[in-house]
Structure 1
């Protein structure tokens, strides 16, 4: 039976993509922490400018949180396909299914990490916006 295209490399490719997504999460985490440590309310002329500044790069976390499970699922689908492709060899079926489950778990781990980081920063940003409004007498009753 012919092998699927990239059969031996698909797990590696999926985990490389998930690794890049995870590295982006960590990079955004570090960038935002540094930003929050050095920013000053006085540097922003308007509420809109302030909101844009404090929410910079959070879209990356949102995109990763939404898409990492699908990357893991893609690895799972390919793993199951490889398992069925090698149905006459039990050892290869177990190996393919094991890789498939690892891809799913990897995708979920990356997504959960991105979502937790996003939610922490989103909540912190909401507090900063309230404080900015109070400092600039923009609070409405």
Structure 2
């Protein structure tokens, strides 16, 4: 069960870090696209909406799944702690606390990824709605 410690530290936390990078990269790409979009280039509202919402699902997926991946790290960390406690019998409370801290680190990392991702998603969806309302105002 000792393989769980690096799996949590590098696997779960690394996955969450990479998810965070992807979410920020997609949000930045969408923001840059929004800055250069011209409503007159879109005679059809559905085509405009399709272009504006492209890739936003990636940010939403990351934001909604990051807490679960963090929770998986928490469960694995607690399993590792209980396994060590059962194997050693009587343990120093410091060892137990280190295992629980490792578990909670994964939960915190999941939330650190999810909260900004959902915020970025909501900001971008709001901007999409503004574009669509502006297009409707111009085209009737």
TM-score by length of 2: 0.90
Deviations 1:89-111 (A, max 9, x none): 43442222111101001101111
Please say if 1:86 is aligned against 2:84: yes
- How far 1:32 moved relative to its partner? 1.1
Residue in 2 that maps onto 1:135: 138
- How far 1:40 moved relative to its partner? 0.8
* C-alpha contact (below 8 Å) 1:82/1:93 kept by paired residues: no
Two-structure CA RMSD over aligned residues (Å): 1.3
Residue in 2 that maps onto 1:63: 61
Give the structure, 1 or 2, with the largest relative contact order (CA under 8 Å, sep 6 or more): 2
CA–CA separation in structure 1 for the residues paired with 2:42 and 2:3 = 51
Residue in 1 that maps onto 2:115: 112
TM-score by length of 1: 0.89
Deviations 1:34-63 (A, max 9, x none): 101111112223111000111111101110
User: Which one has a larger percent helix, Structure 1 or Structure 2?
Assistant: 2
Structure 2 residue runs without a partner (length 5+): none
* 1:10-29 to 2 correspondences below 5 Å: 10-11=7-8, 12-29=10-27
Stretches (4+) displaced over 3 A: 89-92
* C-alpha contact (below 8 Å) 2:26/2:55 kept by paired residues: yes
Q: Count the aligned residue pairs.
A: 134
* C-alpha contact (below 8 Å) 1:61/1:114 kept by paired residues: yes
Residue in 2 that maps onto 1:7: 4
